Structure 1
Amino acid sequence: MNVSEQVVARLAGVEKRYGRLVALENTGLQLRRGELLALLGPNGAGKTTAISLLLGLLRADAGTVELFGRDPQDVRARQRIGVMLQHAELPGTLRVGELLRLTASYYPAPRSVAESARMAGVDDLLTRPYAKLSGGQQRRVQFALALCGRPELLFLDEPTVGMDIETRQRLWAAIRQLLAEGCSVLLTTHYLEEAEALADRVCVMARGRVIHEGTVEALRARVATRRIRCLSAVDAGVVCSWPAVTAAERRQGRLHVTTEAAEAVVRRLLDADPQLSELEVQRAGLAEAFTELTRESEQGLPETRREVA
Structure 2
Amino acid sequence: MSHFNIECQVSELTLTNPFTIARGTKETVRNVVVSLTADGITGWGEAGPNRRYAEDAETVINFIDDLGEGFFDDLDSPDAVAQKLASLDSPVYAALAALEMAWLDWWAKSEEQPLWKCWNAPSNITPSTSFTIGLDSIEVMQQKVREAEEYPILKVKLGTERDRDIIRGIREITDKPIRVDANEGWKNVNEAKKQITFLADQNIELVEQPMPSAMFDEMIALKQWSPLPLMADESFKGNENLKQMSRAFHGINIKLMKIGSLVKARNVIAQAQKYDLSVMVGCMIESSLAISAGALIGTWADYVDLDGFLLIKDDPFEGVALTEDKKLVLSDQPGLGVFRNNNKMV
**Shared topology, TM-score over 0.5?**
no
* Higher Cα Rg, which structure: 1
- Bin of the TM-score, shorter chain as denominator length: 0.3 to 0.5
- Report the TM-score when normalising by structure 1: 0.34
TM-score (norm 2): 0.31
